[in-house]
Structure formats: structure tokens, C-alpha cells
Amino acid sequence: MPDGSVRLDALLVWASERLARSGSPSPRLDAEVLLCHVLGVERTWLYTWGDRKAPTFQRARYEALVAARASGRPVAYLTGTREFWGLSLKTSPHTLIPRPDTETLVEVLLELAVQPSGRLLDLGTGTGAIALAFASERPGWQALGVDRVPEAVALATSNAHRLAIGNARFQVSDWFATLAGERYTLVAANPPYIDPADPHLGQGDVRFEPRSALVAADSGLADLRHIVEQAVGHLEPGGWVALEHGHDQAAAVRDLLRGCGYVEVASRQDLGGRERITFG
């Protein structure tokens, strides 16, 4: 930590260098987001007021957060929030951290939601990201998010209240277990789909996220298969199921859908140009 009275811009340089050395893929961004969190300001404020100085108590808090980030902890768990679809969502270690890739799933759902009203089901909702983003764009629809983890349901419910999104609600359910007889216009999920042997699990933020939100048996396909099979009995006529999956699973998910009798099966690329969303 630099000593004496230190300008915010110098503090950012110090933190970025420290985070770069610790292997963060986005050291400057992390440094800025954490400083904004401590100061309670927006990032644009930092660009204007970099010549200001931080009081000692804030510098001490910042130093602790930078040290935690340097040890690998995800920024979204340190700040307790993450932006998704322009919504500021509370996050917790009980849930997956919402990722920009999943915004592609929201785009697909909005394209499929052609009627003025309908019912969306988001399976394994976590922070509520998919259900809340969708509900915020389609006020005539009702969104239900389910998760088998009660802490996730509580978090998603509090996100809905804080964002004043009244047409999304959340309940505990292990996939469709509590939804017998219920039908939906759209069924969406970003389920666990990582192969248990994937070396990616030992790197970066995923080390700190719940394994139950990331890893699935059968090369990562077990939960995708369960959802595809079960969704058949929970769709309204003409309804759609839309799923996020790994970049090498699109063909397998298309086969799963076709094998269960879905028609008009297609995949969509994520921001990186890889097929990550499949629907039918």
C-alpha cells in the first residue's frame, strides 16, 4: 500500500499492478470496481476525481479487498453485486455469478416471446438473473424462477423486490419436482454443464462458485438431458425450451431435443462466436 496521503489514481495504479502480478485477467477493471465499491461511487466519478485522496479507513478497506482479490476471490463476491442486462444484482457464494454469455440466452427468450403475455420458467435461477432480465423486458408475462438451493431463492426474491420487478417470483424446486401439472410458454435454463474432469474448474472465479451450479455428470450433459426430457410435459402447445451449454455441446443438445420430439431445433452463438444456446 502506498503511504502518506495518496491520490485515488495512484491507488488504482498500485492495485492494478498488484492484481496483475497475482494473475487477474482484468486487473485494472477489478481495481476500479473495488475502489468504487469502497467509495460508494460510479466508475465515471473515478475518472473525473482521480486527484482526490481517500481517507485512511477507506484505504484500509480497499487494501483488504485488493488482497482478497489477489488471493483469487471473485470481484462479484467481494462487492456482493454484479451487473446483468443492465440490472444490478446481489450475488452470493450460494449462486453462480451471472455472466455476459447468459445475456445471449435472454436475447433468444425475448425473440421467442412473441405473444403479449405468457409464462416463463427459469430452472436453476441462482441470483434470478434470467427471470429478472426477461420479466423487466416483458411486463405482460409472468416469470417463475426455481432453484433447489433455498439461499438462492431468497437472494433472487430480494433482487426482484429491490429492482421492483413485480412479474417475477421464485420458489424452491429441484428442477421440475414441485411443478407437477404446470405448463409454460418458455422454459429456460443455464444448468450445470461442465465435465467434472474439465481443468477449467481449477482456474479463476469458478474455484469459488458452488460446484453444484457448474458440474454435471455424463460429460456435463446429465442435467441438460433431464431438463430436455422433463420439459416436454411442461410446455404449452407451441412453447419453447432454450438452454445455455458449453461451446462443444451444441450438437449433443440438438440431438437431445430432436430425440425427445422437439422440432425447429437451432443453436445461437455467444459474444465470442461459439454456439452456446440451443432451443427447440
Q: Which long-range contacts (CB under 8 A, 24 or more apart) does 229-233 make?
A: 229/260, 230/175, 230/176, 231/176, 231/187, 232/260, 232/261, 232/262
Nearer to ligand GLN, 101 or 151 (CB): 101
In the bound complex, what is the minimum distance in angstroms from residue 260's beta carbon to ligand GLN? 21
Position of minimal CB gap to ligand GLN? 214
Query: 192 by DSSP, 3-state: which?
Result: coil
Nearer to ligand GLN, 15 or 131 (CB): 131
In the bound complex, what is the minimum distance in angstroms from residue 269's beta carbon to ligand GLN? 14
In the bound complex, what is the minimum distance in angstroms from residue 240's beta carbon to ligand GLN? 19
Say if residue 125 carries a ligand binding annotation: yes
Query: 194 by DSSP, 3-state: which?
Result: strand
In the bound complex, what is the minimum distance in angstroms from residue 60's beta carbon to ligand GLN? 32
Which residues make up the interface to ligand GLN (CB under 6 A)?
Answer: 96, 99, 101, 190-194, 206, 214
Say if residue 159 carries a ligand binding annotation: no
| Residue 162 Ramachandran class (φ > 0 left, ψ -120 to 50 alpha, else beta) | alpha
What are the φ/ψ torsions at residue 22 (nearest 5 degrees)? -80, -5
Q: How far apart are CA 117 and CA 49, in angstroms?
A: 46
Q: How many CB atoms lie within 10 A of CB 70?
A: 18
In the bound complex, what is the minimum distance in angstroms from residue 119's beta carbon to ligand GLN? 23
Q: CA 244, 245, 251, 257 torsion: positive or negative?
A: negative
Nearer to ligand GLN, 15 or 96 (CB): 96
Nearer to ligand GLN, 62 or 193 (CB): 193
Binding positions: 124-128, 147, 175, 190-193
Residue list for the binding site for S-adenosyl-L-methionine? 124-128, 147, 175, 190
Q: Residues comprising the binding site for substrate? A: 190-193
